[in-house]
Each structure stands twice: as structure tokens, then as C-alpha cells.
Amino acid sequence: MATYSIHVNGETKKVDVAADTPLLWVLRDTLGLVGTKYGCGIAQCGACTVHLNGTAVRSCALPISAIGTSKITTIEGLSKEGDHPVQQAWQEVDVPQCGYCQAGQIMSAAALLSKTPNPSEEQIATAMNGNICRCGTYHRIKEAVVLASTKMK
Amino acid sequence: METLTKTSRRDFLKLGIAAGGGLVLSFNLSDSLAAIVKGNKSLAATVDFNSYLSISPDDVITIFSPNPELGQNIKTSFPMIVAEELDADWKKVKVVQAALDVKKYDRQLTGGSGAVPHSWERLRKAGATARQMLVDAAAKRWNVAASTLSTNNGFVIHTNGTKLSYGELATEAGSLPVPTDVKLKNPKDFKLIGTAVANVDNKEMITGKPLYGLDFYREGMLHAMIQRPASFGMKLKSVDATAVKSMPGIVDVVTFKNNVAIVGKSTWEIMKARKALKVAYEKDGNIESTSDHDRIFKELLDKPEATVRRKDGDVEAAFKNAATVIKREYQCPFLSHAPMEPMNFFAHVKADGVELVGPTQTPDRARNATATLLGIAPEKVTVELTRLGGGFGRRLQADYVVEAAELSKLINAPVKVTWSREDDMMGGSYRPAVRYRFEAALDSKGILIGYKLRGVGVNAGNSTREDNFLQVRWKIY
Ligand code: FES
Ligand code: FES
């Protein structure tokens, strides 16, 4: 066990965990931020996607010891009121089915749009490719990403 | 007020049960008692019209959605049906997931695409009954005939244009007798049903609120993962957990049936410790293999006898007269349902009862299976429903619930059992393996004149049910 100071959603949090603990489990088990989901634990499904300095990463494959001073944003910290353009678009399009994958989808989409505000269909497909939705809401995900890109302007 | 027990209050106010509706008029006991304690007058006066809805004096309409929500939007569609007949203002409706309650609700399960068809009528009756009681209350207050009054968007309206909100009438309405025969709307008058209504959990889902079974945490709760045999037909031979037990965060390693449970303080610690577990298995009967399944399929398909589900016309004649006969077989192996949220359940077996919380499509089955396993009455088991991160039929089974309860009893502690994705893919209950043989008879112009379908399944039946096929009659030439 070791103590780490991490920056999550604009706050500094001290956690006492083993060095190899994936960020996912620090968020969920230690900090109670359960919006970030466990789907596979091996960086294959995207359910655990968070931002590390604005880039989408798989928190299940990111050990706490590798984070240092990087800034982490989770679904809970994407916006104060749940009104980030991507969240607005997700709500308007009513994207979720079971909803379990959607926090990860939203985090991937938000990271894409912050760097590429006007993505092509191909860029959307590439950026969202690593996020699996077992319910198959892909058509609505794409629609919402396009809608969100109009809201980012 | 404190001396009022739940039972006495409930019995006192239980006025009647409408046929088929399970409509029990009673006060919302838990809410009202809690509110009385807190001194909240408005909440204290909240009236339960029946098992499906309650209305507070400040116009908040709470509609309970009894069936498990796994992504098919039942938590939105059920309340919509109640709200439709109630003529409620949807914007003022609060939807609450009901826990398992076999006395209040019928068929509290989600599966087989049956939830809405089965509940349609009783949900409509629930809304219509409450609406009628509100109209009756207004009629009494205005001293007019109920038949002259109408309702719209949460108000009862007098012919002279005066109106009273449902909240204003709730308390009075709650003291009236429950009508046994209520009129349902003509579907052409539906205002809410048939419109696109956003999922009621939409905002919670997109902001990452705790909704799912895996999101359930409780102070003092332990975490566990279970090592199960790597294939069907294997049983536990020996377990060496010495290394595991000394690893950080590990509380216990418990063996039961063919399971080895690693119990600890956090998910990662048990995931890590699990790798240090030394466990050996041995054969226990036949180890199932795909080649066995293929052989069984072939044997079954070639067997002369079959249960005929449907036969139209002279099929044999059509095949005899055919210019061409095409025969094809298609098969689907045993597959993991792989819901996005891995299997999990929270269980706390206490001296006086069992608390279960988690994602299940069949809460009553989970309750009964747990009661049977522990040798207690089902009434001693409560099941609270979380949202399900998908089900696809996997969560019709109760194996993962019973397992959590068994473990909780063994370790005498509240515990959440989580399946890893690997556990989910490698074990548990799979989708049935099926194989179908299609035969088509074509005439010289290539027109279909005869058609045969035969299906078989391994250990699971198959789905060649007649209602799974087109309800048109094949025309035999
Ligand atoms: S849980 Fe991290 S990618 Fe699946
Ligand atoms: S909404 Fe169910 S997995 Fe994506």
C-alpha cells in the first residue's frame, strides 16, 4: 500500500492503495465514483473510459502509480449540471438503452469533440470504435455525436 | 402517531381489492411514517391510491414501476400507461422502482417480451381507478354529479371551468371507497401513449449516478469473486489458498459446492489474490464438447419422431411434385449472453432474514431459490431491484443470487459477489444451443410450393414454436 494524491474532477484526493491498482477500482471502490463502469478489465470494451489530461483512456488498464499529476475527469466531473454538449445531445437523442456502457461512450465522444469539433463520419467511427454497446445503440450514438458537434460551436 | 404500527394502519385502511387489479388502498406506510417522524406535513399526507401510485398534496405523483428495468424502457412505459389513464401531467410524475412485493404485484419479472402485454390492463386500471376517485372527491366537494366532470393534465375540471388539482383532492379522494368498475379510455384518446417519451433514468445514466447492481456499496460490505470449474463436467478436487489468505485485503477464502470464494475488502485486491489461488479439478461425468453437441444435433434431426407444431396442406405431395428441393441446416452454439454489466449480487443473510439487492429479471425466483437453499420462508427474504446493465435472458436465472446468499451465510457478513468478464464468458448459464433444418420445395418456375422446418436444441428445447413464424398460410399448389 502507498499513498497517492490524484487530481479528480478538479479536486485533490488522497488514496491509500497498492501501486498496481487500476484507476477504475480506485474511482469505484475507494472514491465512490461509480459512474465509471467495469465491463472487461482488459481495455477491450470502453465502459471504464475517463479523461487523463483531456485524452480518453481506459481506466481499467491504468495503474494508479502511473498517473502522477495528470488531471482525471470522470463522467461525474464532465460538467457540473450534466449539461456538457455531449450530455445534452445524449439526452435529446435519448441514446441509452440499458445505459451501462454510456458513461464510457460519452467520455470517448467528449474527448473526440474537444480535439476534433467537426468530425467526419469516419473520424466518429474510429474514435468510438473501442466502446462496445451490448444493447446496440450505435446508430443513436452516432446521431448524438453529430448533434453534440453542432452544440460545441 | 408513534404508537401506530404498520400492520394496524394497513389493516385499518385496506378498503378493498379490485378484480384483477390488485388495487389496495392504503397509506404509503414507509413514506408517511418516516415523514411524520421528520415532521414533514406535506409528505405525511401523501396518499397511496393503489400499489402503483400515490399523490401528494403538492401535486407530486409517484408511480411505482414494479418490473425489472434492463434497457427495454419498462421503467418509462409502465408509468406512462398509469399516467395515461390517470390523466396526469407527465412532468410532475416521479417514477420509483418498486422492490419485490408478491402481494402487491403480479408477474414482477421481465422476460420473453411479456411485461407490457401482461401488465397493460392492470396498469390502465390502476390509473383509471385513481382518476375516478379524484373525480368522485371533486364531485363531492362541488356537490355535482361525477359524470359532469372531466380531467386533464392533473386537474379535475368543472363544467363552469373551475378546476382542482389532483394534489388538492388527494387526501379526500384517498378516504373514498375504491370503485370496482372503472371505465378505461378509448385508445384514440390517448395523449401520452404513442408519443416519444424520454427514458426516465436518462439524466441519471448520462451523469453517472449509481443505478446498477455493481454500483451498490454499503458500509462494512465485503467483496467477493468466485472461482468456478473451468468447464461443465468438472468438479473441485483440491484447493490451496495459503498464499491467497496472506495477501493484502483478503478476509477469507471459502469453499462451497464447486466454488471457491475469495472474500476481501476491495475488488482489485480479490482480483489480484485470485491469481495466487491453487485449485485442481477432476472429471465429474462427461465434459461437454462442441463435437458432442454436433452429434446430438444430427441424431435428433434424423430421428423419425417429432412433435408437430404446425402442418398446413399436403406438404408431402408438394415435395413429391417439386422440381427442386433445397435443404439447409443452421446452428447456433451455446453462447454467453454477455450483458454489459457483469453478473453481480449483494446479499446479507441475517438472523432474522435475508436482504438481497441487485440486477435480476426474476426477483421472485431469486427470492424463492434463496429461501429454499437456506431453508427459510420466502417472506423472510427481501429483494431490492437495481437497474440492470442488460439481461438478455441471463438474469432470468437465479444461480448468481443464490451463490451470493450462500456465501453471505457462510461468512456471516454482507457481501457483494462480482463476476469478472472471464467468469461470465466461461461459465454460468448460456443461451441454448440449437440447430434448424430448413427444406424448401420449388416448382419448375422456382416458386415455393412446400416448406418444412425442423428444430432441435441441446438441454434447452428450441424455438420452433408455431407463434414464432409468420401467421400466413402457405399456399400449396
Ligand atoms: S472495463 Fe476497461 S475497457 Fe472494459
Ligand atoms: S446501452 Fe446497454 S450496453 Fe450500451
The pLDDT tens digits for B54-104 are 999 999 999 999 999 999 999 999 999 999 999 999 999 999 999 999 999
Say yes or no: B91 and B34 in one domain: yes
Domain-embedded: residue B299: no
The reply to whether B124 and B93 lie within a common domain is yes
From the list A96, A97, A75, A93, the residue with the least C-alpha distance to A84 is A75
DSSP assignments along B215-266, one per residue: G---TT-EEEEEE--SSTTEEEEEEE-HHHHTSTTEEEEEEETTEEEEEESS
Question: Which of A94, A124, A96 lies closest to A110, judged by CA?
Answer: A124
Helix extents (H) in A2-42: 23-25
Q: Which of A25, A34, A91 has its CB closest to that of B206?
A: A91
Q: What was the pLDDT predicted at B80? A: 97
pTM: 0.88
- Write the CB contacts of A34 (distance below 8 Å, at least 6 apart in sequence): A27, A28, B208, B210, B214, B215, B217
Is there a contact between B154 and B61 (Cβ–Cβ < 8 Å)? yes
Assess if residue B297 is contained within a domain: no
Chain A: give the shortest CA distance to residue B446, in Å.
37
- If asked whether residues B458 and B342 sit together in one domain, one would say no
**Least CB–CB distance from A41: residue in B207, B209, B420:** B420
Q: How confident is the model at residue B426 (pLDDT cuts 50, 70, 90)?
A: confident
What's the pLDDT at B40? 39
In chain B, the percentage of residues whose pLDDT exceeds 90 is 70
Residue B128 C-alpha cell reads as 383509471
Domain final residue pick, B206, B236, B260: B206
**Roughly what angle, to the nearest 10 degrees, separates helices A138-151 and A85-93?**
130
Q: How many whole angstroms separate alpha carbon B350 and alpha carbon A148?
A: 49
Quick one: B102 exposed, middle or buried, by C-beta within 10 A (0-12, 13-18, 19+)?
A: middle
Rounded Cα distance between B43 and B442, Å, is 71
Classify residue B123: in a domain, yes or no.
Answer: yes
Contact yes or no for A29 and B267 at CB 8 A: yes
The set of residues, in sequence order, having a beta carbon less than 8 Å from that of A142 and lying 6+ positions away, is: A121, A124, A125, A128
Which pLDDT score is estimated for B460? 55
Q: Work out the angle at residue B164's Cα, subtended by the Cα atoms of residues B160 and B166, and round it to the nearest 5 degrees.
A: 145
Assess contact for A62 and B352: CB atoms under 8 A.
Answer: no
On whether any CB of chain A is under 8 Å from the CB of B477, the answer is no
The set of residues, in sequence order, having a beta carbon less than 8 Å from that of B452 and lying 6+ positions away, is B315, B319, B437, B438, B439, B440
> What value does the mean pLDDT take over residues B281-287?
86
Phi, psi (rounded to 5 degrees) for B398: -110, 5
Which pLDDT value is given to residue B32? 34
B227-236, B240-249, B314-323: least confidently modelled range:
B227-236
State residue B272 phi and psi, 5-degree precision: -70, -45
Option in B201, B214, B418 nearest A99 (CB): B201
| Residues B167 and B262 occupy one common structural domain | no
Q: Which phi and psi angles does B318 have, rounded to 5°? A: -60, -45
Question: B350 CB contacts (<8 Å, ≥6 apart)?
Answer: none
Partner residues linked to B279 by β-bridges:
B239
Same domain, B356 and B458: no
Looking at the fold, whether B44 and B141 belong to one and the same domain comes out as yes
Residue A35 C-alpha cell reads as 459512474
Q: Are B326 and B440 in contact (CB under 8 A)?
A: yes
Average pLDDT over residues B355-379: 97
Which atom of ligand 2 lies nearest, measured to the CA of A136? Answer: 4
More confident residue, B20 or B115: B115
pLDDT value of residue B430 = 84
Question: What is the whole-number distance in angstroms between the Cα of residue A37 and the centre of ligand 2?
Answer: 11
Give yes or no: residues B7 and B105 share one domain: yes
Give the model's confidence band at A50: pLDDT under 50 very low, under 70 low, under 90 confident, else very high. very high
Residues of chain A with Cβ-Cβ distance to B342 below 8 Å are 38-39
Counted domains in chain B: 3
- What is residue A140's three-state secondary structure? helix
Q: Are residues B185 and B224 in the same domain?
A: no
- Among B175, B206, B237, identify where a domain stops: B206
Taking the alpha carbons at both ends of chain B, their separation in whole angstroms is: 79
The residue with greater pLDDT, B296 or A119, is A119
Asked if residues B406 and B412 have their Cβ atoms less than 8 Å apart, the reply is no
Residue B85 and residue B149 in one domain: yes
Put simply, whether B457 touches A (Cβ < 8 Å) is: no
Residue (of B347, B356, B409) closest to B382 by Cα position: B356
Q: Round to the nearest angstrom and report the end-to-end CA distance of chain A.
A: 45
Kindly report which listed range (B157-166, B323-332, B441-450, B459-468) carries the lowest average pLDDT score.
Answer: B459-468
Pair B23, B138 in one domain: yes
Tens-digit pLDDT profile for residues B187-226: 999 999 999 999 999 999 999 999 999 999 999 999 999 9
Phi, psi of B435 (to 5 degrees): -140, 140
Identify which of A37, A38, A128, A133 to mutate to test ligand 2's pocket (most ligand atoms within 8 A of the CB).
Answer: A133
A99 to B223: CB separation less than 8 angstroms, yes or no: no
pLDDT > 90? residue B23: no
> In 3D, which of B257, B274, B258 has the Cα closest to residue B223?
B274
B301 lies in a domain?
no
Measured distance CA(B178)–CA(B158) in Å, rounded:
22
A52-56, B85-89, B182-186, B469-473: least confidently modelled range: B469-473
* Alpha-carbon gap: A56 to the closest alpha carbon of chain B (Å): 16
Residue B363, domain CATH = 3.30.365.10
**In a shared domain, residues B157 and B239:** no
Place of cell 491498482: A21
Q: Would residue B385 count as lying in a domain? A: yes
**In chain A, what are the domains?**
2-77 (3.10.20.30), 85-151 (1.10.150.120)
Specify whether B101 is located in the same domain as B222: no
**Residue A132: closest C-alpha in chain B:** B340
Is B270 part of a structural domain of the chain?
Answer: yes
B291 located within any domain: no
Nearest Cα to Cα of residue B66 among B25, B112, B31, B109: B109
- B132 within domain boundaries: yes
Sign of CA dihedral B303, B304, B310, B314: positive
ipTM at complex level:
0.97
DSSP type of residue A28: I
Among B177, B206, B235, identify where a domain stops: B206
Tell me the residue range of the domain where B219 lies: 213-285+337-430
**Over 60: is that where the pLDDT of B10 sits?**
no
Point out the least confidently predicted range of B284-293, B372-381, B444-453: B284-293
